[in-house]
Structure 1
C-alpha cells in the first residue's frame, strides 16, 4: 500500500474521511505558492494536489483557469513545477499529488516524468485526459516508480468501464461529483450521493473513493463523507482565497474548517 492510500485510510479511521486540498503550482507566484502550501498542510489537509499550469485546461472552470494563467507567468514548464514540488516537499510531510493534462507529460517523456516524480517524493499523478484504455504502459511505468495513478469516474460511468478504471487506478478513485468543469458552489445533490452509494460497493476495498468537483464548504464535505466517500476534494474554493489575496493564515483557517467537515467522530 502506498503512502497516499495509507494517509487516506488513516484519516478515515481517525476522523471519518480524508480531506484533499488542491492548489495551482506557482500561484500567485513561486514564493507565495510555497507559503500557501505550508498553510494548507498546517490547516489539516491529509493530501495536497498540485495543479500543473497548462495553456488549454479543458476540464477546469474559470477559477482554476485564471490560477493557471497567473502561474504561467513564472511556472512555464514541468521543470518549474518540479522545482516547486521539491521545495514544497521540504516543508510538508503529507502526500503530494500532481494533477496535469497529458500533453506536458508526453512532451517531457513519460518515463523521465515518472522517475522525476519518484525522486522528488511525489506520491501520485492524476491525468484527467488520459483514457484508461490508453494508459496500460503509463500505469506499468508508474508502478515501477512507486507513483500512484488515481483515475476519474463520473456518476454516469457504467459498470464495465468502472471495473476497467478501478483495475488501473491506485492511490484512490477520483469520483467526479457532477458533470462539467471544476468549480462552482452547488450543494451536494441526490445525484452525487446516489453516485457515491452506487459506486463505492463496486470499488475494491483497498482503493479509497474520493469525491471532487464543486465542493466548497464544510457542509458539502460532510455530506459526501456521510454518503460513504472515503475523502473529499476541494479546489476552486481554495484557489479563490488565493486569488482574493487572503493571507496564508486566513487560508490555513479556511482549510481547517473544511477538514472539520470530514469528521464524523
Structure 2
C-alpha cells in the first residue's frame, strides 16, 4: 500500500507535471486563521502541504518564516495544537499529504514515542527535521520510519557525491533539494543549476526530488518545475499573509484569500509546464 506522498507524486508524474508543495507556519497569525488556510490550500492548487512547527530558535529559516513562527508562538501555538490542526484538516481531506517541518527540540520535549503515535493518529505523513543530520538517525529518523512516517532529508548545493549516499540512506517520501546556500527566502534559484543538481541526485535515488528555497513567483516556479518533481514555495506565501495583517498583527478578511490567490497562480504556472511522465 502506497503512502499519501507516494501516491501524490505518482499522480502528478502521470499528469506530466511537477507537484506544488506549499509551506505555511502552523498557528500564524492565530490557530483559527491558520486552520482555515490549511483547509483552503488543496482547492487553491496545493498538492503537498508542509506545515511549519513554530520554534523559538529557527536557525535555518529566513526573516519571513522566523517572524511567522514568533507570531504563532505569541498566539499560543504548540506542537500539541499543531497536531490538533492536522486532525481537524483530516476530517475533510483524506488524500492531501501533510509534512511537518521544524526542529528536533519541540519533538524531544514532547517525547519521541508519544509524538510518533500522535502524529500518525492525527494524519501526518512525513517529517522534515532540519537540525538532525544522518549521524543522528537513531534519535528520530529510524523510529519514524518504523512507525510508518516518511522522513524527508534535505540535500544542498554543497552535498557532494561522497556525502549524498549518507543523506539519502534513510530518506523516504521525497528528497528536498535546497536550491541555494543560506537561509530560506534570501535569494532566488538558478533553474539551470537546479536541473543539473536534480539530475545528479536522481542518479543516487528513485525518490522524487522537490526543490525549495528561493522560489517566490509563478514564473520562477514554472522554471523550476521544468527540471524537478516538485516545487516548494514558503516565504512568498508567508509574505503574502503578513501583508494582510492589521497594525496589531491580527488577521483580516484578506488574509486567507491573499495566500490562496498566490497558491492558485503558482499552481497554474506549475501545471503549465509539461514533463515526461516516465521521469
Interval of TM-score (by shorter of Structure 1 and Structure 2): over 0.9
| Counterpart secondary structure, 2:151 | coil
1:252 to 223, 242, 260: 260
Greater helix share, structure number: 1
By how many angstroms is 1:137 displaced? 5.0
Residue 109 (structure 1) aligns with: 111
| Counterpart secondary structure, 1:26 | coil
By how many angstroms is 1:140 displaced? 2.7
Count of residues paired in the alignment: 262
Q: TM-score, normalised by structure 2?
A: 0.88
For residues 130 and 189 of structure 1, the distance between their equivalents in structure 2, rounded to whole angstroms, comes to 28
By how many angstroms is 1:189 displaced? 4.7
Q: TM-score, normalised by structure 1?
A: 0.93
Long gaps (5+) in structure 2: 245-253, 275-279
Q: Is the 8 A contact 1:222 1:262 kept in 2?
A: yes
Greater Cα shift, 166-175 or 187-196: 187-196
For residues 116 and 80 of structure 1, the distance between their equivalents in structure 2, rounded to whole angstroms, comes to 11
Long gaps (5+) in structure 1: none
1:261 to 269, 275, 279: 269
Aligned CA-pair RMSD: 1.6
Q: Is the 8 A contact 2:157 2:197 kept in 1?
A: yes
By how many angstroms is 1:65 displaced? 0.5
For residues 117 and 105 of structure 1, the distance between their equivalents in structure 2, rounded to whole angstroms, comes to 10
What pairs up with 1:1-265 in 2 under 5 angstroms?
1-93=2-94, 94-136=96-138, 138-184=140-186, 186-203=188-205, 205=206, 207-227=207-227, 229-245=228-244, 246-263=254-271, 264-265=273-274
For residues 217 and 225 of structure 1, the distance between their equivalents in structure 2, rounded to whole angstroms, comes to 12
Q: Rate the CA distance shift 1:189–1:17 in 2: closer, same or farther, 3 A.
A: closer
By how many angstroms is 1:135 displaced? 0.8
